[in-house]
Each structure stands twice: as C-alpha cells, then as structure tokens.
Amino acid sequence: MRRTWAKASLLALLALGGSAFAQVIRVGVVGPMAFVQGEHTWYGATLAAEEINREGGVVVGGRPFRIELVRVDTNEITSVTDAATAVERAITAQRVDFLIGGFRSEAVLAMSEVAADYKKPFIITGAALDGILAGRVDRNYERFKYLFRVSPNKSSDLARTSLLLLGEVVQAVRQQLNLSRPKVAILAERAAWADPLVETASRLIAAPPPQGYGAEVVGVWRPSATATDVTPELTAIQRAQAQVIYTVLSGPVGVPFGRDWGRLKIPAAPVGINVEAQQETWLQATDGLGVYVATLNTLAPGVAITPKTLPFISNFQSRFKRFPIYTASGAYVALHILKEAILRAGSLEADAVVKALEATDYVGPSGRIVFDKVHDVTWGPGYTTGLGVQWVGSRMQAFWPRAWRVGDRVVGYAGVRPYQLPPWVVEAWRR
Amino acid sequence: MLAAILVNGLVLSGIYGMLALGFALTYGVARILNLAHTAFYMAASYFLFFLLGYTGFLPAALLAALLVLGLALLAYRFLLEPLREHEATVLIVTIAIALLFQEVLLLLFGGHFRSVPALLPGFVELLGVRVAQQALLALAFAALVLLLAWAFLKGSRIGLAIRAAAQDMEAAELVGVSLSRAGYWAVGLGALLAALAGLAVAPMATLEPHMWTAPLLVVLAAVVLGGLGSLPGALLGAVILAFAEVVVVNLVPGGAFLRTAVALSVLVLVLVLKPEGLFGTSFAEER
C-alpha cells in the first residue's frame, strides 16, 4: 500500500514538474492540409505556438496558459461543405477557443458564418475576397465582429499593388526597348474576383500618363482557372505582338501558363498576380521554364520588410526546411496578435478579446498590422504592401518596392533589385 | 490565325485521339464505360514522375505502362468482370476506382503541382506558329501508337477475336472466340493506350491528383460524338473537339474559358441532328 502511494505521489510530482502550465488555450488551425496553403498555415501557427509556449505561454489572471493547436483539415479546395462542417466539429467536439487560417474565399465565407454563430474569434490568413469582411462586419457588427483578416491584403488592394508592378514593367519596356507605346495583353482567369481587375487594368493601361501608363491593350484572354493548356492563348498573344502580359491568375492555370510561356519563349514579359509563382516549388512545377515570371508576393528571400522578416524566414526554414508562403506568415502573426490581445483583455472571453484585437498595432514579418473599421488589414506604405518578385536564375528576388514614390515619401526595402526583362523579349523587340 | 488553329488543333487532336481510342476499345469489346480511363492515364504520369527519381526515362516509362496495365487487369478481374452485365453498377465502380486513385495520390504526393522534364526542350516554328518540340514528339508518338494499335487489331488473331466480339458477342462465342479472353485483351489494350497517352502528355502537363477529370469529359464527348463503340469515330470525335477548342480561343479570346463548353455544344448539336453519332449506332439501339 505504501509503495502504491509513493508511486502515485511520484507520478503527480512528475506531472506537475513536467509542465508549468495549469491550463490550455485551444486554437483551431484551419486549412486544406493536403495542399501547400494549409500545410504552411499549420507550420506558421506551430512556429508561433512554440515561441509563445517557450516564453511561458499566455498569462491570464495570474495563471499561465499553454497554446495548444488543433489541426482542422477543411478540404476546402474541393468542398465548401466539408470546410464548414470541419469548423463546426472543431468548435463543438474539439472545443477550440479561437480559430485561425482559411484559404479559399468561398469556403472562408461559409466557415466564418459558423464561427460567427458560435461567437468564436476567427483570424483569417489566406482568403482575399473583399466581401468576407466588408459588408458584413460594418453592416452586422454584432454578428460578424468575431472576424478579422491579417493576410493577404484584400482583392482590391492586391489589384492596386499588381497594377503598380505592371507599371514598373511597362516602364522597363519603354526605357530598355525604346518603345514609346508598349503593347500589353491581359490574361485573366475566368473568376468573379478577376473581372473588376481586368476592367481597371484596361482603363489604366490605355490612359495617358501621369494617370495611366500610356500603353496599348492588344487583347483580353480569359482562360478557365483550371485550364491545363494555354498554348493557343499564348500563340494568339504572340501574334498580337504584345511586349507585356498582365496576368491575373490565382488557380492552377498559373503553372501551365509559366511552363508553356517559357517553353515557347513568348516574347512578352509576364507580370501581375500568379499565385503559383509565389511558391518556392515554382521552378520544379514548371520544369525550370518559369524563370523571369514576375508576380505579387508577400515575402522574398533576403528582403527585410520589418526587423522581424529575416529572423522569421530563417527560423521557419531551419524548422520546416522550406520557404514560407503568405499563409505561413499570416498564421504566425495571427497567433502572436491573438496572444497580445488576450494579454490586453486579461481574459479569454470572446467579446473582450475582440475588443482587444480591434486595438491591434503589431509589427510582423510582412509589415505593420493595424485593422481598419471592417477588421481588415490596412494596406499602404508603413503598413503592409506586399512585394513584387521575379524568378531570376534559380531564385526568387524582389523588384518592388524599390523607389516607390508616395507623396513626398520614397518607399523601398533593403535587398530589392531592379526588374530584369527576359532576354528573349529584349532580343525580339530591341530597336 | 489559320496557321495557329491548324498547328495547335493538330497537336491537341493527337493527345485526345490516344485517350479516346483506348476508351472506345474498352467499351466496344468489354462493354465497359470506363470512367476510370483517365485515372489510368493520371496513374501512368505519376508512376513516371516517381520512377524518374530512380531510373532513366525509357525504363521508367516502360515500368509505368506495365504497372498501369497490371492495375487495370486486376481491377477488371476482381471488380468489373463479375459485374459486367450490370452496366449502371460498372459505371459506379469505375468512378469509385478513379476517386480511389485520386485520394491515394493526394495522400502520397499531396496537392502539389508536379512536372516531368521534357525529353525534347525548346520549340520550332511551323507556318509562323511556335510549337514545343515536346508537343510534336507527343503528336508523332500518338500517330505511331494509333497505327500500331490499328495494325494489331487488323492483323493479329487476337485482334480478329476482339473485333469479332465487338461486332457480335454471341456469334463470336459460337465460332470459338473466348469472350472472357477478348475482354481481358480489350481492357488491357485500352488501359495501355491510356497509359501511353499519360506518358506522352506528362512532360507537357501539370501533374496533380485531379488531372483526370478534365480529359475524361473531352474523351466521353469525343467517343459519343464519333459513335459509341466505333474506333474511327472516336478518333474523328477527338479531332473535331480539339479543333473546336482551338477555334474558340483564337476567335473569341475573351471567352477562352468557354472552350470546353463550346466543344460540348458541338457534341449536343451533332447528337440532335444525328443521334447515333458520326459512325456508331444510336443510344436506343445500343446492344
């Protein structure tokens, strides 16, 4: 009997000594875990949770809480219904206190309805549609106040940045190829989010400077977001004698585009949005043919957007052996923001945490995070802007912002290099 | 523009043609509407991608084709042959096989986009149109495979048995043709054609676990357009659909996403005017 008591006491002591945490905060990390977007959401959250727990967790009311992550595979790329069900199960069965993540806008709309119904704060890290927050948080605050977004910038801001990148490339064509009125082809996937972008780009490209780019639109091509072959489109673009291709591609079509463009050496420089080209696997996916493709991105190797950028990239790479995509930095920053908000609120109660989240002013790896009135991340110099990146040789390098003039300010980050026109474009058009 | 339509249409025709012939063969002889046909094509591409990590292109391609053949014969032996008389059940089983392939690949390789290096990099200009050398190689390969398949069906005893079974099962059985054996040959040949199409397309395609769905739609349309069960019909259907797609992209660039929809509209139009398809028997009279 005495031996049994001794054993039990020893086990109790070991249990207490093994962990300094009395309780846990359960955070559901939601995303399509079989896909790179979900995988990186999980990695980003894991890195942040390890840092927070190592530093003593989150102290609420004098008691330390450990962050415990719950992996919520939403399968949202193939099924919106699965996504909503997964979030509901995470809340009701796995008892999560907070949610971070989400990737596909349609799925996030459904998942965020569930989160709002259960009054669970949900920090979105992957979906760009403006309407996830605008028109919901402002019009029905009491129901949707639990939703926030840290990344990416909303679609209309992404559009703004991608058009700035286009301006940079049009300028390079004008100066380096001595063409006074460069020709631009627009290649935009057939999706609702791309429509306003095509319209704005068409207007802006053709308008005379300084409002527009003083260039010519030679045509608009709208392939399906899942097209596996864009050779006919590229042949037609070549025939239209374009020197620049403005891409608006978020779906898998980005890969065949890069591969066919490189293989056929189409003499037009691609720039804009190509989500597939944001990933470090781009060259593998395009069989090495996607070199010189330029796209909007969040992070780039060696570019210090804030003092936290390079340490984050380095820690992430040594822990997971890969370069983080935007869902990784988003989930990482979301968890840190959540921790700070809980500390400020001094409570785990959802409404108190929401109030504290609204007061967020946090410098993360991709910029300074301040929420606007609809709980969206603020875009612009001094906040988050994104980067323009281009594949040169075997690596991704940033070319924007380098000397971006905003009023009296000139915005640029260390490590950003000039844009390079593909050599076969130069060869085809130099006069 | 005419040159672009001609060249791109021809290349696309070769790829669709290979897939459609294999599908038509399986249906024509074994009477199996094999919705897993393009899943075999996907499996061959993935096997090639995986094996290229260990060996050269030719052995990897050969092994990939054999593995797909083995998988198809096993599926036929244990899942499809016992149910052959129940057409609706066979349809469901084949779609289940395709989904199983998809989920297994998702589990093993994740949802990442993969690619296989081109055997022939670069491009050539034909009639002023840039064409990838790999695409021309695929076209030549498709032509060779189709010719060999044709020669096999026309010139060998097994080919004769297969064609006899396709024409009239009972009569063929009366003259000593083993329907079971002919079925195995047809399924094997069909799967092999799908695998060869997968191998030809892999260096130009993006490998991902849902890549079987888009070509399945085109193949089904091509085979129905040509006339179910007709081998020349399947090929002609593939050529018509390929050219319809390329014409849409060139003439209506803003509606390029409609390329498959327009191709399918051509199918509907032909079926309304000629319900049996271009070379086949009508649905009502089938079997």
The DSSP-derived string for B35-75 is TTHHHHHHHHHHHHHHHTTTS-HHHHHHHHHHHHHHHHHHH
Q: Which of A259, A282, A327 to mutate to test the interface with B (most CBs of B within 10 A)?
A: A259
pLDDT, tens digit (0-9, with 9 covering 90-100), for A297-353 = 999 999 999 999 999 999 999 999 999 999 999 999 999 999 999 999 999 999 999
ipTM given for this complex: 0.80
pLDDT at residue number B18: 86
A130 lies within 8 A of chain B by CB: no
> How close is the nearest chain A Cα to the Cα of B68, in Å?
23
pLDDT, tens digit (0-9, with 9 covering 90-100), for B126-154 = 888 888 898 899 889 988 988 898 898 88
Question: CA-CA distance, B76 to B70, in Å (whole number)?
Answer: 10
pLDDT at residue number A47: 98
Distance of CA A289 to the CA centre of its chain: 24
Contact A221 B256 (CB under 8 A): yes
Contact B206 A252 (CB under 8 A): yes
Contact B111 A286 (CB under 8 A): no
C-beta of residue A158 within 8 angstroms of C-beta of residue A386: yes
Contact A232 B135 (CB under 8 A): no
> How close is the nearest chain A Cα to the Cα of B264, in Å?
15
Q: Where are the beta strands (DSSP E) in chain B?
A: 123-126, 129-132
C-beta of residue B13 within 8 angstroms of C-beta of residue A232: no
Q: For A75, which residue in chain B has the nearest alpha carbon? A: B111
A79 lies within 8 A of chain B by CB: no
- Name the pairing type of β-strands A58-60 and A122-124: unpaired
C-beta of residue B217 within 8 angstroms of C-beta of residue B15: no
pLDDT at residue number A292: 97
* A228 contacts on B by Cβ (under 8 Å): 205-206, 211, 214
Tokens, residue B250: 């060139």
Tokens, residue B23: 């599908």
Q: Who among A236, A252, A260 is closest to B253 (CB)?
A: A236
Q: Which of A136, A141, A139, A144 is nearest to A116 (CA)?
A: A144
What does the pLDDT average to over B21-37?
Answer: 86
Contact B4 A287 (CB under 8 A): no
Block residue for tokens 């259907």: B237
Contact B122 A227 (CB under 8 A): no
> How close is the nearest chain B Cα to the Cα of A137, in Å?
33
Which 8-state DSSP code applies to residue A376? P
Residue A271 bridge partners (DSSP): A246
Which 8-state DSSP code applies to residue A403? S
Q: For A77, which residue in chain B has the nearest alpha carbon? A: B111
C-beta of residue A263 within 8 angstroms of C-beta of residue B134: yes
Question: CA-CA distance, A369 to A135, in Å (whole number)?
Answer: 21
What does the pLDDT average to over B70-89?
Answer: 89
* A229 contacts on B by Cβ (under 8 Å): 12, 204
* A220 contacts on B by Cβ (under 8 Å): 253-254
> How close is the nearest chain B Cα to the Cα of A34, in Å?
5
* B121 contacts on A by Cβ (under 8 Å): 263
C-beta of residue A272 within 8 angstroms of C-beta of residue A205: no
* A238 contacts on B by Cβ (under 8 Å): 130
In order along chain A (431 residues), what is the average pLDDT of each group of 10 residues?
A: 53 47 90 91 98 95 95 87 94 97 92 97 94 96 98 90 94 94 94 82 91 94 86 91 94 90 96 92 91 96 94 96 94 98 97 98 96 96 94 94 88 92 94 70
Residues 6+ apart with CB under 8 A from A6: none
Q: For A227, which residue in chain B has the nearest alpha carbon? A: B257
pLDDT at residue number A182: 96
Question: CA-CA distance, B259 to B249, in Å (whole number)?
Answer: 7
Q: How many A×B Cβ pairs under 8 Å? A: 115
Phi and psi angles of residue A294, each rounded to the nearest 5 degrees, phi first: -115, 140
Contact A233 B260 (CB under 8 A): no
Q: Exposed (0-12), middle (13-18) or buried (19+): which is A24, by Cβ within 10 Å?
A: middle
What does the pLDDT average to over B75-83?
Answer: 89
Q: Which of B120, B131, B206 to mutate to test the interface with A (most CBs of A within 10 A)?
A: B206
pLDDT at residue number A6: 55
Contact B121 A263 (CB under 8 A): yes
Contact A32 B121 (CB under 8 A): no
Q: What length is written for chain B? A: 287
> How close is the nearest chain A Cα to the Cα of B174, in Å?
47
pLDDT, tens digit (0-9, with 9 covering 90-100), for B157-210 = 888 888 788 777 788 888 888 888 888 888 899 999 999 999 998 988 889 898
Is the model more confident about A96 or about B235? A96
SS3 content of chain A, % helix, strand, coil (to 5): 40, 20, 35
A232 lies within 8 A of chain B by CB: yes
Phi and psi angles of residue A394, each rounded to the nearest 5 degrees, phi first: -105, 15
C-beta of residue B40 within 8 angstroms of C-beta of residue B191: yes
Label residue B21 by pLDDT band (50, 70, 90): confident
Question: CA-CA distance, A57 to B285, in Å (whole number)?
Answer: 73
Tokens, residue A243: 């020197």
Other C-beta atoms closer than 10 Å to the C-beta of B82 total 13
Contact B115 A39 (CB under 8 A): no
Question: CA-CA distance, B124 to A264, in Å (whole number)?
Answer: 8
Q: Which of B71, B74, B77, B4 is nearest to B43 (CA)?
A: B71
Phi and psi angles of residue A95, each rounded to the nearest 5 degrees, phi first: 55, 45
Q: Who among A223, A226, A232 is closest to B250 (CB)?
A: A232
Question: CA-CA distance, B239 to B222, in Å (whole number)?
Answer: 8
The DSSP-derived string for A256-287 is HHHHHHHHTT-SSEEEEEEGGGGSTTHHHHTT
Question: CA-CA distance, A48 to A335, in Å (whole number)?
Answer: 6
* B1 contacts on A by Cβ (under 8 Å): 236, 239
A228 lies within 8 A of chain B by CB: yes
Q: Who among A233, A281, A287 is closest to B117 (CB)?
A: A287
